[in-house]
Structure 1
């Protein structure tokens, strides 16, 4: 998926996404592209990317969900990002349930258009479908 064909929340979102994709050489990696696209949606996740992703190990950091900067919206953003990246569906500890990772638990935060765009990025092999 080419950057110009994608929808972005704002210029900060687009800039963050492009920078992370270039930094991690993820242009052909739909998993990481979806991850960074979703994390670019909020200022908090952009500013705290180092607590969500270990660039040295090229891996997500689940402990990022438990950081004090997290809000109700950023937790939903992170849950979607983790789910699109590796299928994570919750129950990392007793405070989470699989329901927190369903559309009911994630999409109810005013970012649904962008979250659906992330799903398209992750599943780009279906890009010709009319949704």
Structure 2
């Protein structure tokens, strides 16, 4: 019905955070040098754009799927579940359960991918320090 709204909402928040991070890092880079060592938390913040892209892409595909099945229409109230008051409660339940589960799964997968990339980056930087 409208499960794509949960990942889309998270995508809005993450996109705003990524935009803010880019703006702050651009301001800081003009004032001082970048640190040589990168902490995991700063690496996570740097990779917020990955999460944003995953969430927007998934939300868009779910939107297309819901349009295909006639659950979203191009006229008000857009969501067909809002036409019948009896369908509103199941729609909200689907957003809260299925939508949130999808958003959390995407976020968890992104976290694991960033952690693996960070470990590979640290391993590569440790090897370069030893060989120098």
**TM-score band w.r.t. shorter chain:** under 0.3
TM-score, normalising length: structure 1: 0.24
- Per chain length, whose mean CA-contact separation is higher, i.e. which structure has more relative contact order (CA < 8 Å, sep 6+)? 2
TM-score, normalising length: structure 2: 0.24
The structure that has the greater radius of gyration is 2
Greater percentage in helix: 2
